[in-house]
Structure 1
Amino acid sequence: MHQEIPGLSNCNLCGNSEFQLLFRGNIGGDVGSRFSQYAYYDDIYRCNNCRLVAQRQLHDGEAIKQFLQEEKYLDEAIGNLNLVEKHFQFTVLTKIIEKHTAFEDHELLDVGANTGVFLSSIKDRVKSAQGIEASKEATHAARTIHGLDVQAGLIAEVELPDDQFDIITMFDVIEHLTDPINDLKILFQKLKPGGKIFITTHDIETLLAKISGRHYPMLMYQHFFHFSPKTLAKMLEANGYKMIGFKRFLKSWSFEYIYHLIEKMWPETKLAKNLQAVLNPLYRIPSVRKFRIVSPQRDFFMLIAEKPNSDNN
């Protein structure tokens, strides 16, 4: 029986029109200021057929594009700290990539390049390094601070030649896409035959996600889809990719970053103020601020897929 759900017509993966409501949304009408805040989201559904988890999208593509373009990364303490945290995380991801391909003499595209932290760390090892980034501020920073070749725009908008790249990276980006199956189709065309794509995201099927329920930190308005390894693999295979690798990995954050993240997760609440008040004596100690706290579970994963050579099709 077809369900009429405003902002959610058919499953992006399988086309099914029957869904189960997982969590009722709480974002209200103030989407602009809460677009990237934790704990605010619209209604979350799971496809009854393939189990892809999706948030209904009540804003049209242009409105969402504007939200993405206006995303800020450098105007607050948590934003600057996030750049430092990315260096730690990209070290882990780079090691995983190196087990599947070499960087040398290869052309690389980073989708969701942000301010260019990953591209700047790898640009001297590859033949060419390009990026795509929706945020105008982040694109400007990538170009001016790091001197990188980063295009501003969405995947469906930017001009890139087909069969161009040996490596495409998408780190914590796929969940932000409003039409991921079509975007993966476009990126498939940009890969050379034999080229590989590396995608990371959170796993909506982990124990932490199930226990946290509606309080799961990754539920936020700018996360339009929530994948498991199985649903993401199905979406890649539906676009012609061949799966060649899977790896779970841990994330870690400095005490300083988590201290500031509390306000980001529960903005202007007594909970945030009380937590920060309790942690403040520790925060004052420089060595404690740098102490790294590791996620208790491997809630994040990387899928590796390739565009088959024509003689292997």
Structure 2
Amino acid sequence: MKHVKAFCFQCRAPVTKLIKRLDLANILECDVCKIAFIQPTYSGKVKLPYNFRLYNLNYEKHANRLYPLIRTINSFISKGKLLDIGAGYGLFASLINKRGADFDISVIEPTQNPKYIKGLNINNYKTTFERFKTNIKYDIITLFDVIEHLADPNAQVLKIKKLLNNKAKLVIQTPNYNSLMAKVCKNWSWWMPEDHKFLFGPMSLSNFLTEKGFKILYIQTYEDLADFKKNLDGNFINIKNIFLRRLSKYLFYVPFFIFYSVLRPFLWKLGLGGLIFLIAENNE
């Protein structure tokens, strides 16, 4: 079925390929750039799933996920001016501030209260990146789970490029709509049509940044096992009989996770992890 709903922000081709229907949105894909466009099919406001109390209950889980990424970042750059766009509750900024790197850190966060940076020597700008103005040049800009929220990624990445010094680093984490999770989970939570506008795969994100004059230094895909299982649980919610639901889960999970545990490193290298983590270099 063809749907002309949008034009690709990257190549300007009409986006007509329907790849998935959700309760709240249709997912379209640019045939040229392989970028997914999330087209809501609902009207009105939908409550967003952000809650600091619940997030903080899983502090160790979130922190342990970030520590390896911070070590990877520090292997490429460990000092200079850092701008974290869309800081959320400020966890990443607080952790990289405490892990021995010599960064002068600023964060931009328009809606959430970045509570984790309270008492730290970190500048906090309560505004959107679209409205953010500065004459400062940065040595590293980070976007953790942000690019998929931007109304115009093309314009905002070009703005980011202007804020970066030559050879400065751009760090992006974003959901991978080409992931195994997205393929096998009926209700993959990171489609999030309430708040996401676009999604990338590893290749489409790399190509998008390369065309903007960035050099890709590092890219990986990964996911948390607990997140994968939680998403898979949604495949069984329509089985009302508790015994049948538990039996179905057992018959599926045992062979699946044996397969997954053995092949996970290869799946991630093949670009099938649920999240993309990328480090690029600005080449003026």
- The corresponding residue for 2:182 is 209
Give the alignment partner of residue 74 of structure 1, picking from 52, 65, 73: 52
Partner of 2:139: 166
TM-score using structure 2 length:
0.75
Deviation string 1:215-271 (CA, Å, 9 cap, x unpaired) is 3232112222111111111221232222222223343549xxx88x999x79xx887
Matched with 2:26 is: 43
Equivalent in the alignment of 2:254: none
Report the CA distance shift for 1:209/1:47 in structure 2 as closer, same or farther (over 3 A): same
- Partner amino acid, structure 2, of 1:100: F
- Closer/same/farther in 2, CA of residues 208 and 74 from structure 1, 3 Å limit: closer
* Structure 1 residue aligned with 2:216: 243
CA pair 121-182 structure 1, distance change in 2 beyond 3 A? same
Deviation at 1:144, TM superposition (A): 3.8
Pair 57,145 (structure 1): closer, same or farther in 2 beyond 3 Å = farther
Unaligned runs of 5+ in 2: 247-260
The answer (yes or no) to whether the contact 1:112–1:170 under 8 Å persists in 2 is yes
Contact 1:133 1:151 in 2 (8 A): yes
User: 1:116 touches 1:146 (CA, 8 Å); kept in 2?
Assistant: no
Deviations 1:124-166 (A, max 9, x none): 532410111132x324x2554656322122211112325x111
Percent identity, aligned pairs only, is: 22
TM superposition shift of 1:80: 2.0
Who is 2:86 aligned against?
A: 112
Alignment partner of 2:64 out of 84, 88, 92: 88
Q: TM-score, normalised by structure 1?
A: 0.69
Q: 1:166 to 1:230 in 2, by over 3 A?
A: same
Shift of 1:193: 0.9
The residue correspondences of 1:96-135 to structure 2 (distance < 5 A) are 96-101=72-77, 103-104=78-79, 106-123=80-97, 125-135=101-111
Structure 1 counterpart of 2:162, one-letter code: Q
Between the aligned partners of 1:219 and 1:202, the Cα distance in structure 2 is 8
SS of alignment partner, residue 157 of structure 1? coil
Q: Does residue 15 of the first structure (1) align with residue 12 of the second (2)? A: yes
- Residues 143, 149 of structure 1: 8 Å contact kept: no
Alpha-carbon distance, 1:168 to partner: 1.2
Tell me if structure 2 keeps the 8 A contact 1:192–1:307. Answer: yes
User: Which amino acid in structure 2 is aligned with residue 17 of structure 1?
Assistant: P
Partner of residue 148 from structure 2, selected from 165, 170, 175? 175
Distance 1:3 1:58 in 2: 13
Residue 20 to residue 144, structure 1, CA distance change in 2 (3 Å): same
Is the CA contact 1:25–1:43 (under 8 Å) kept in the aligned structure 2?
yes
Equivalent-residue separation in structure 2 for 1:270 and 1:24 (angstroms): 18
Q: CA deviation at 1:167?
A: 1.1
Q: How many residues align?
A: 257
| C-alpha deviation, 1:58, in angstroms | 7.2
Q: 1:155 aligns with which of 105, 129, 135?
A: 129
The alignment's C-alpha RMSD in Å is: 3.6
1:18 & 1:250 partners in 2: Cα distance? 29
Partner of 1:284: none
Unaligned runs of 5+ in 1: 28-41, 279-293
After TM superposition, what 4+ stretches of structure 1 lie above 4 angstroms from structure 2? 57-60, 269-272, 294-297
Paired residue type of 1:133:
E
**Change over 3 Å in CA distance of 1:201–1:115 after alignment to 2:** same
Task: From the superposition, tell whether residues 116 and 18 of structure 1 become closer, same or farther in structure 2 (CA, over 3 Å).
Answer: closer
| Structure number with higher strand proportion | 2
Say yes or no: does 1:24 pair with 2:27.
no
